[in-house]
Amino acid sequence: MKKLYPYSPLIVFFILILFFARQLILKEDPSELPSVLLEERFPEIILKKLDGYKLFSVTNLMNANSPSLVNIWSSWCVPCKIEHEFLMRMSSDHNILIYGINYKDKKEDALKVLDLNDNPFYAIGVDLDGLQSINLGVYGVPETFIIDSDGNIRYRHVGPILEYDMQNIILPILGKIMREKI
């Protein structure tokens, strides 16, 4: 047993290496945060109406017939523009209900974006100062939440939804939720 004492630094070192190796293999982005609201009810937030569009409120999500997406976006957000195409595809091709939260934006600018492009949102709520979205744990735009038909948050996607994300993350999760109901 005494003979093992000089080996202790080596043993500690190898434990460290195991942790490093795990971190490298996982290739996670250390700055990305998973949502802490997973499996919880969508928080009661109060949003303002955008003229000419249905108002999105949390009641839309409760006791719905199907899962839905809640997408946080702004007119000044460049990745949101890129994501728009994929939101449209999910909304029209896959008939997915998408609600939008307009984040820290000017109403005129938001309306302009919606006029110039197709509208993927079934209903829209406006969060002028961003403080309502803080209740969702939002820390940037765009973010998208997947909500099941009982109004619980099942997944939070950080960043734009692109082809890969749509095919490999969003659609599969939505499919899984719908199968649960059966």
> Binding residues for other proteins, per CB under 8 A?
3, 6-7, 9-10, 13-14, 16-17, 19-24, 27, 30-31, 33-34, 36-37, 104, 129-131, 134-137, 139-140
What would the DSSP string read from start to end of 81-142?
HHHHHHHHIIIIIS--EEEEEEES--HHHHHHHHHHS----SEEEEESSSHHHHTTT--SSS
Nearer to other proteins, 36 or 182 (CB): 36
- Least separation in angstroms between residue 154's CB and other proteins is 17
- Least separation in angstroms between residue 10's CB and other proteins is 4
Nearer to other proteins, 131 or 162 (CB): 131
Nearer to other proteins, 36 or 116 (CB): 36
Return the DSSP state at 14: H
- Separation of first and last alpha carbons in the chain: 60
Nearer to other proteins, 16 or 162 (CB): 16
- Least separation in angstroms between residue 115's CB and other proteins is 25
Measured distance CA(31)–CA(53) in Å, rounded: 35
- Least separation in angstroms between residue 35's CB and other proteins is 8
Q: How distant, in Å, are the alpha carbons of 5, 62, 94, 134, 169 from that of 174?
A: 55, 16, 11, 25, 9
- Least separation in angstroms between residue 118's CB and other proteins is 28
C-alpha 111: how far from chain center: 22
Nearer to other proteins, 78 or 178 (CB): 78
